[in-house]
Amino acid sequence: MRHLETLPPWAAILIAVFVMIGATMTLLGGLGIVRLKGYYQRLHAPTLGYSGGTGLIILASMLMFSLLEGRWIVHELMIGTFIMITSPITLLMLGRAALRRDRDAKLGHDEIVPPMLRAPVMPQPDEASATAPAPAAAPPDRPHR
């Protein structure tokens, strides 16, 4: 690790601060999953914690390697962009799926069958309609061929 000796002290301090804050945010995001009560609250903690924490750690890595090698490091940009995009989108989709599941359970829908394939709900006959005669069938509009 001889190349770290060439790193300026101000950069080493800044990199250490970014890594420590990023690691703390990531840790708090992980603790939020354990500590928070509801499912929807648990979705919020990792979105902010992981995205922000990972962003700061990647920023520290970019700063260190750009100062040591004298050029921008593209793979950290790609990793950071991928994590910053996929983490919130994934948790948003999980939240929407949970919301739909809760709404369907509240309305009494079957979770397995999609709405388009569900059989229509037929009214149950009560005692008054059971004794009444059935209505005559209406004539068709067009004759069958």
Q: Indicate the Cα dihedral angle 96, 100, 102, 108, nearest 10°.
A: 180
* pLDDT tops 70 at residue 43: yes
Whose structure tokens read 């929807």? 40
pLDDT at 144 over 60: no
Domain ranges of the chain: 2-110
CB-CB contact of 91 with 49 (8 Å): no
Mean pLDDT calculated for residue range 13-31: 93
**Other Cβ atoms closer than 10 A to 84:** 16
Q: Mean pLDDT lowest for which of 1-15, 65-79, 100-114?
A: 100-114
Do residues 19 and 60 touch, judged by C-beta distance below 8 A?
A: yes
Contacts of 64 (CB under 8 A, 6+ apart): 7, 11, 15
Q: Which helix (H) or strand (E) holds 69?
A: helix 39-69
Q: What mean pLDDT is reported for the chain? A: 80
Write out pLDDT tens, residues 44-98. 777 778 888 988 999 999 999 888 888 778 888 898 888 888 888 888 888 888 8
pTM assigned to the model: 0.64
Rounded distance between C-alpha atoms, residue 91 and residue 96, angstroms: 9
